[in-house]
Chains A and B, each alone.
Chain A
Amino acid sequence: MTRRLPVWTVTRHAVLIAGALVILMPFIWMISTASKPQTEIFSSHLHLIPEHFALWDNLRAAFAKADLWRFLLNGLIVTVSVFTLQLLVALPAAYALAKLRFLGRDTLFALVVFCILIPPQATAIPVFLLLHKLGLLDSYAALILPFSISVFGIFLMRQFFKTVPDDLIDAARMDGISEFGIVWRVMLPTAIPAVTAFGIFSVVAHWNDYFWPLIVLNSEYLRTPPLGVANFRNNEAGTDYGPLMAAAMVVIAPLVIAFLLAQRRFIEGITMTGIK
């Protein structure tokens, strides 16, 4: 590349830092507000650094007013169950589609590719009616089962498995490992990077999902983090911004911290949503 003028370097950083401030502003304002006592929040003079540091009080108030631990636990239960089920269903199917020959394979794969095109909102009404018929609304099952299949996961893993050499599989067969065993003991270990990327994609999508929990849930104790914080806001709107911002902080914290620890993997995993 050509030598850069210092002017250009300075401009680059100036513009990028200005943009970064705009991007970070909601996060900064959230932390700042969560650290202020009510009197400072409802004052018309702007200040970023609180005069009295009230973060702990606001956090305590947030945890007292809403069962945030419960919401976080629900988020964990739902995301982990969804991902586990998706793997259990997708890996064997992906292996068969990639490495085995059977009647209807190409049709099935075409259907998988077709299903990737279906946006999640499109099937919401019939799936809701189905859960209603089965009496499963307002339960963990309602949050988890509709996502037990990820056609995208099948597609992704199948593409990955195609790159695994057949010799590896043949050797496993020689050793007397069953096809089912090959999936879990040979294919899964080779596919760890793809599984990780898919796992991040899946967990982030379902931790952050608002549409589906909103539709199927009634009970407070089942609320996922987004639903919990939205309800908190509906109950407290306009009165108590400190605890509300503290609650928002708590809800975004697990993923943001995980992201900061493993940025590259997260960016890989999430940009896969491009397919949706």
Chain B
Amino acid sequence: MSDMAIRIGAGDSPEQAAVGPRPRSHRAGTALTAQALVAPAAMLMLIILLGPLAGVLALSFTDYQLGAPSFSWIGLANYREMFADKVFWISLRNTLTYVVIVVPGSVALGLGIALLIQSGSSLRSWYRTIYFLPVMATLIAMAIVWEFMLHPQFGLINGLLRSFGMQGHSWLQDRNTALYSLCAIGIWQAVGFNMVLFLAGLVSIPKPLYDAAEIDGASGAWSRFRLVTWPMLGPVTAFVVVISSIRSFQVFDTVQVLTKGGPSKSSEVLIYTMYTEGFEFFRSGYGAALTVVFLVFVLALTLLKARLNRGVHYA
């Protein structure tokens, strides 16, 4: 199922394209046709992806503002301003906090649920469907539902707390809890995705391994997990961790609609800062510099993923 996702990036040899030898004229014709077939894709790739990627780097060295008649190269001034800005550091720290909470949370829960689902045979597809539902549902709409659930007075969460005799809380309005509330929503949304990747990994573990472990005396569920499942899942786990990290780094929707980075910047995250600078204040140059910082983190994670992919061989 997810083998497509997992195998991607694994080295595959383009030489395998077996086009047999053909008469010369035919081949020249085919080459021309081939170039015509790839031309639209190549052009769009240049205009929409590679050009803008180079553009964002170039912009980050300018003071360009949307609508300004001119701009000038200002070298590293945007970066200097950024590194001197308290908001940038708060934003970076919040993003890392978000990643450090959501990744282990959603990976551990995803693994736990996958193991539980796989450990029996009844209701498997029911559970899988339910846990996957948040991945499907439009996050913005569900974020608005969460906001109402976290409503200080009429929300479900505080209502439940009160019925257990506990104090309610202004989750999203309190600077001490806003970011963590967003983390909870993030975990809720990501668990099903990770679960599905783990399920694919679990299915691919060869059954005889468990039988062999049993013959060797590993009869308990825990020893089976420790001796067979966990080592066999190692590569998948690493892969899921990296993917979750990349996705968590991109957190934006819930922040924009629920907290606007507040209260007092307590839930400000990188992409949200980039959005406000680049698209609300139209400081394109400075926004580009923020984008470059974001890119550095995400590309580092992606390279890590590519490296991990090489070791993954199950389907």
Contacts and interface: CB of A to CB of B under 8 A. Distances in A.
A25 B154 CA distance: 15
Nearest to B120: A12
A63 to B, nearest CB: 15
A236 to B, nearest CB: 10
A78 interface: no
A117 B299 contact: yes
B66 A149 contact: no
Contact of A121 (B5, B144, B196, B291): B291
Given A26-B146, A215-B279, A155 B8 contact: yes
Given A16-B116, A108-B42, A270-B136, A101 B160 contact: no
A218 to B, nearest CB: 12
Contact of A16 (B113, B191, B221): B113
Identify whether the interface residues of A are mostly helix, strand, loop, or mixed: helix
Interface of B: 1-2, 4-6, 8-9, 12, 14, 16-20, 27, 30-31, 33-35, 37-38, 40-42, 44-45, 47-53, 55-56, 59, 66, 109, 113, 116-117, 119-120, 122-123, 125, 127-142, 144-149, 153-154, 156, 159-160, 163, 188, 191-193, 196-197, 200, 210, 214, 219, 221, 239, 243, 246-247, 250, 252-253, 256-257, 271, 274-275, 278-279, 284, 287-288, 291, 294-295, 298-299, 302
B31 A100 contact: yes
A46 B38 contact: no
A148 B42 CA distance: 12
Nearest to B124: A16
Nearest to B271: A121
A46 to B, nearest CB: 4
Given A29-B145, A96-B34, A98-B17, A125 B56 contact: yes
9 contacts: A30-B145, A46-B159, A103-B35, A115-B49, A121-B250, A145-B48, A180-B33, A229-B144, A252-B141
Nearest to B15: A106
A183 to B, nearest CB: 7
Given A26-B149, A210-B253, A274-B243, A122 B136 contact: no
Contacts of A210: 139-140, 252-253, 256-257
B214 to A, nearest CB: 7
Nearest to B136: A259
A99 B38 contact: no
Given A126-B52, A267-B1, A154 B144 contact: no
B129 to A, nearest CB: 5
A103 B6 CA distance: 30
